[in-house]
Amino acid sequence: MKNKAAFVYSDQLLNYKFHANHPFNQQRIKMTLDLLQHSQVISDKDIIPPRFALEEELLLAHDQRYINAVKKAGMGELQADTAESYGLGTEDTPIFQNMHEASSLIVGGTLTATDLVMQGEYEHALHLGGGLHHGLQGKASGFCIYNDCSIAIKYILQKYQAKVLYIDTDAHHGDGVQWAFYDNPNVCTFSIHETGRYLFPGTGSIYERGHGEGYGYTFNIPLDAFTEDESFMHAYRTALVEIVEYFKPDVIFTQNGADAHYYDPLTHLSATMRIYREIPKLAHELAHQYCNGRWIAVGGGGYDIWRVVPRAWAFLWLEMIDHHLEGQLPEEWLHQWQKHAPVSLPTKWEDEDNIYPPIPRRKEINEKNRITVDKVLQIINRSNSNTKK
């Protein structure tokens, strides 16, 4: 009998740390685990420590020159102008001590999760340290140094010869992963995000559809700023159900950035905790329906680490183990973390009603998102009608 789900974690993952005031803060993983432990829905035997990625594994998605630069930067030996040409030492992605080692452990954690699932030991595996979807082949970008998602997917292609569906629900476009597989028909990428019109990284339009043999295997749904739960879920659900039927993956890999919430300080969507229950639920159902359960999940963005991320990521684990919790959060958890928090922690699993004032353009936004989804799915509907002829 397979184990249901593994939680890949060790405290060493918290060494991926730019500086005290940087929005990317891995303490959110510890807070999530602590929440799960106080809720008594995870035990020590569910927790598997990450390994380090080997250099040859990093090379699956990165240039040697870039890896050398990251190593040097982490030892304080990279000159500022050279660093900048690799996207290092910028405001977004500052240099920190031993950044190569810390980043290699993040990648290794995602590879650990990948092997647990692909070797059939576990049905699902979760590595919240991963999800660094902006990392590019030769360049750091948007808080991401090595792209654990791209590396793990290349690793799956090479070692397991499986077709991978990558689902990215971070509020930012999953650009690094998209470009890594843009011409590859064995990897389908689906990213739903806030439109890049005003938001980093600026890409992720509906017209980015893949290239060469990979044409038709890249899907983007750029949502309007201020999009709310219902419209988000309608777009996600409608698109994903069609994409999975069209692509028929062997394994589902999800990136679970939790920065589409209204409280997130870096983005402009208006989602609530509701979507963080629903997003993994559909991915989970589809993994059982199409992939014999094979589902690898990683974290990603998420910058309200107090009010949003721990609950959102706990929902992901609860979904994996088929468990449901609602109502009050554990007292001990609130007691433990409230003293560190600059804001009042939520006391319940769900958000209160009306955490934000009504969105005046709601109707227009919903309509625009609906049209976007229709346009994105046209490529599938066209190819379906061709096969029927």
Q: What is the largest CA-CA distance in the chain?
A: 65
Q: Per CB under 5 A, which of residues 359..388 are in contact with Zn ion?
A: none
The H-or-E segment that residue 256 falls in is none
The yes or no reply on residue 72 touching Zn ion (CB under 5 A) is no
Q: DSSP string of 21-90?
A: T-S--THHHHHHHHHHHHTT---GGGEEPPPPPPHHHHTTTS-HHHHHHHHHHHTT-S-HHHHHHTT-SS
3-class state of residue 156 by DSSP: helix
- Of positions 172, 173, 277, 294, contacts Zn ion by CB under 5 A: 172
Stretch binding Zn ion (CB under 5 A), from 23-31, 37-45, 49-57, 168-176: 168-176
- Which residue's CB is nearer to Zn ion, number 253 or number 333? 253
Burial of residue 314 (number of CB atoms within 10 Å: 0-12, 13-18, 19+): buried
Question: In the bound complex, what is the minimum distance in angstroms from residue 303's beta carbon to Zn ion?
Answer: 8
Site string for Zn ion, 16-55 (x = CB under 5 A): ----------------------------------------
The yes or no reply on residue 301 touching Zn ion (CB under 5 A) is yes
Q: Quick one: tokens of 299?
A: 């974290």
Per rule CB under 5 A, count of chain residues that contact Zn ion: 6
The yes or no reply on residue 108 touching Zn ion (CB under 5 A) is no
Stretch binding Zn ion (CB under 5 A), from 37-45, 82-90, 104-112, 294-302: 294-302
Q: Please state, in angstroms and as integers, the Cα–Cα distance from residue 338 to each residue in 37, 221, 327, 332, 344, following that order.
A: 17, 36, 18, 10, 7
> 192: Cβ–Cβ under 8 A, 6 or more apart, which residues?
168, 169, 220, 221, 223, 232, 235, 236, 239
Sign for the pseudo-dihedral over CA of 278, 280, 281, 285 = positive
How does strand 164-168 pair with strand 122-127? unpaired
Stretch binding Zn ion (CB under 5 A), from 10-18, 53-61, 87-95, 162-170: 162-170
Question: In the bound complex, what is the minimum distance in angstroms from residue 4's beta carbon to Zn ion?
Answer: 6
Stretch binding Zn ion (CB under 5 A), from 11-19, 106-114, 171-179, 326-334: 171-179
> What number of residues does the chain have?
389
Distance between CA atoms of residues 132 and 330, nearest Å: 30
Q: Quick one: tokens of 65?
A: 């020159």
How does strand 164-168 pair with strand 187-194? parallel
Q: DSSP string of 185-202?
A: TTEEEEEEEE-TTSSTT-
Question: In the bound complex, what is the minimum distance in angstroms from residue 65's beta carbon to Zn ion?
Answer: 27
- Which residue's CB is nearer to Zn ion, number 130 or number 257? 257
Distance between CA atoms of residues 343 and 364, nearest Å: 33
The yes or no reply on residue 170 touching Zn ion (CB under 5 A) is yes
Question: In the bound complex, what is the minimum distance in angstroms from residue 267's beta carbon to Zn ion?
Answer: 7
Question: In the bound complex, what is the minimum distance in angstroms from residue 172's beta carbon to Zn ion?
Answer: 4
Question: In the bound complex, what is the minimum distance in angstroms from residue 305's beta carbon to Zn ion?
Answer: 13
Stretch binding Zn ion (CB under 5 A), from 91-99, 143-151, 176-184, 257-265: 257-265
- Which residue's CB is nearer to Zn ion, number 97 or number 292? 292
Question: In the bound complex, what is the minimum distance in angstroms from residue 193's beta carbon to Zn ion?
Answer: 8
H-assigned helices in the chain: 27-38, 55-58, 64-74, 80-85, 99-118, 148-160, 175-180, 229-247, 273-290, 309-320, 331-338, 362-388
Question: In the bound complex, what is the minimum distance in angstroms from residue 259's beta carbon to Zn ion?
Answer: 4
- Which residue's CB is nearer to Zn ion, number 112 or number 267? 267
- Hey, what amino acid is at 318? L
Question: In the bound complex, what is the minimum distance in angstroms from residue 176's beta carbon to Zn ion?
Answer: 12
Stretch binding Zn ion (CB under 5 A), from 17-25, 70-78, 100-108, 164-172: 164-172
The yes or no reply on residue 259 touching Zn ion (CB under 5 A) is yes
CB 9 within 8 A of CB 49: yes
- Which residue's CB is nearer to Zn ion, number 175 or number 228? 175
Stretch binding Zn ion (CB under 5 A), from 89-97, 172-180, 243-251, 352-360: 172-180
Rg (alpha carbons) of the chain, rounded to whole number: 20
The yes or no reply on residue 257 touching Zn ion (CB under 5 A) is yes
- Which residue's CB is nearer to Zn ion, number 46 or number 170? 170
Provide the binding-site residues for Zn ion, judged by CB under 5 A.
170-172, 257, 259, 301
